[in-house]
């Protein structure tokens, strides 16, 4: 997740064997970590949900039998400290340094919260106009048997002699076409193909193999760079020129 108005990416890494989730902050311009592998008191039922320029917001599952029951934790990105926690709170969206959301109790409307202090600034917020600020470009998903899927599938067959299955992610940017596709080959495999408008191959990478299901948002473009995760453990970035 990108931290707004910064060059920081928040990385969430989940270790199934140890049931641990760690978080790191990477400056993608300098390729240096601000901090690495932070582990919270709740090590598994936790995940990144949003960020302001100063604060990382993480959702916390308070009842593992009922994943809808959540809390919200605020972590100061630069000071590396927990700021506050709200139990039974559902985050709707973040705008600037303000958090909009709702408590689980019946009868309580939308509230406005200061992201740093955690104080409720306004109750029963009714008029909300979130700003649309697209910072990262993400691909469109074409599911199997749709018209767009069949068109790209046909191109992949002609270009690479492969049969795409399940779903294809597609994006056009800077006179290039980005295609993330899946094939059955000793299990489900995921590849990323980048071609020019004329069809010349610029990049062809294997993102993963022996996958349990369809990958979603397998790549994105930010500040003129292509980002993706390879083999579940390697963050890769290419400058688009």
CATH number of 8-122: 2.40.10.480
- Per-residue tokens: 142: 């074409």
Kindly state the DSSP code that residue 139 receives in the 8-state scheme. Answer: P
Long-range contacts from 24-29, C-beta under 8 angstroms, 24+ separation: 25/77, 26/235, 28/222, 28/223, 28/225, 28/227, 28/237, 29/223
The answer to whether the beta carbons of residues 111 and 120 sit under 8 Å apart is: yes
For the chain, the domains span: 8-122, 140-239
Q: Residue 152: which H helix or E strand, with range?
A: helix 147-160
Tell me how far apart the alpha carbons of residues 181 and 219 are, in angstroms, rounded to a whole number.
11
What is the chain's mean pLDDT, rounded? 87
**Least confident window among 11-15, 74-78, 110-114:** 110-114
Average pLDDT over every residue of 14-19: 90
Q: What pLDDT digit, counting tens, does each position of 2-11 carry?
A: 898 899 999 9
The answer, yes or no, to whether residue 101 has pLDDT greater than 90, is: no
In sequence order, the 6+-apart residues with CB closer than 8 A to the CB of 32 are: 26
pLDDT reported for residue 134: 45
């Amino acid at each position: 997740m990108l931290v707004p108005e910064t060059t920081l990416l928040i990385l969430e890494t989940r270790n199934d064997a140890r049931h641990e989730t760690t978080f790191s902050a990477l400056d993608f311009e300098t390729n240096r970590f601000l901090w690495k592998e932070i582990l919270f008191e709740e090590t598994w039922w936790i995940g990144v949900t949003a960020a302001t320029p100063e604060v990382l917001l993480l959702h916390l599952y308070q009842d593992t039998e009922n994943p809808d029951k959540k809390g919200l934790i605020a972590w100061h990105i630069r000071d590396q400290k927990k700021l506050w926690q709200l139990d039974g709170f559902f985050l709707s969206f973040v705008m600037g340094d303000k958090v909009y959301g709702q408590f689980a109790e019946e009868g309580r409307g939308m509230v406005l919260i200061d992201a740093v202090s955690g104080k409720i600034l306004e109750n029963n917020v009714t008029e909300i106009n979130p700003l649309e600020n697209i910072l990262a470009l993400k691909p469109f998903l074409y599911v199997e048997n749709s018209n767009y899927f069949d068109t790209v599938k046909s191109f992949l067959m002609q270009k690479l002699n492969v049969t795409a299955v399940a779903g294809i992610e597609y994006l056009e940017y800077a006179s290039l076409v980005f295609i993330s596709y899946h094939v059955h080959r000793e299990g489900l495999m995921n590849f990323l193909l980048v071609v020019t408008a004329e069809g010349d191959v610029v990049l062809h990478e294997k993102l993963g193999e022996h996958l349990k299901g369809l990958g979603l948002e397998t790549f994105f473009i930010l500040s003129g760079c292509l980002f993706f995760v390879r083999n579940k453990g390697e963050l890769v970035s290419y400058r688009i020129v």
